Structures are given as structure tokens and as C-alpha cells.
Amino acid sequence: QVQLVESGGGLVQAGGSLRLSCVASGISFSRYGMGWFRQAPGKERDFVAAISMSNMSGNRTNYGDSVKGRFTVSRDNAKDTVYLQMNTLKPEDTADYYCAAKFLGGADSGGYAYWGQGTQVTVSS
């Protein structure tokens, strides 16, 4: 049974930082591309960031335009965990954040098969 469990959300002031974590179980983690998405109330789900499966060349990353230069995605295969470091947070970053997994995935924004339950991030102005 595949499980993705996010944590690290919370309330932070604008300009602050948070680090989200997503622990995976039930999959061979290093062979999965991992993505982060977010959904604000009343809005569609948006792509935030992705990191490719691990290979001899390392990992590729990809970011949504609104978070480039502020967010960083990384992974620790020994811990079956993907991270999203969020800096210089803005009120418009307020949303539920979800991680997702895709077998043999690159750093793509689509095609994810497994999803977590989400963690809430609220940025106050």
C-alpha cells in the first residue's frame, strides 16, 4: 500500500520560511519522480515543484513560475523523503500543499499516480 504523508505546514508571517516534508512508504522511493502541488480555496490545483527519480546523473528539478527563486525541492532517498523549502513566503502562497509520486518519473508537472493528504500552509500579511 502506497502512502505519502506530508508534514511541516503551519502559520507563518509574510517573508518567513517553512520546510515541508513528505515521507513515502510502499514504493521503491528512488525510482519515483516526486512533485509538490498546492490548492488554494476556490482555486484549481497548481504545480509547485518536482524532482526527478535518482540516477547516475543525479536529480533534475523543475519549478512553477510563481515560486522560482524562493522554493527549493530536494530528496533524501535514505529516508524516503522529499522536501520543499519555502523562503520569502507571500500571502498568495497560502494553500494546501500536496506531494505526489510518479514511477520512473522526471521532474514533470503531470502524470502523478499517488498523492498525499496534504498539509496546510497559511501566510499572514
Q: Above 80 in pLDDT, residue 56?
A: no
CB 113 within 8 A of CB 91: no
Q: Is it the case that residue 105 has pLDDT exceeding 90? A: no
Q: Which residues contact 58 (CB under 8 A, 6 or more apart)?
A: none
Query: Is the distance from CB of 116 to CB of 99 less than 8 angstroms?
Result: yes
Question: In which band, very low, low, confident or very high, does the pLDDT at 47 lie, cut at 50, 70 and 90?
Answer: very high
Residue range 58-101, pLDDT digits in tens: 889 999 999 999 999 999 999 999 999 999 999 999 999 999 99
As a whole number, mean pLDDT of residues 5-23 equals 98
Distance of CA 88 to the CA centre of its chain: 16
What is the grid cell recorded at 118? 496534504
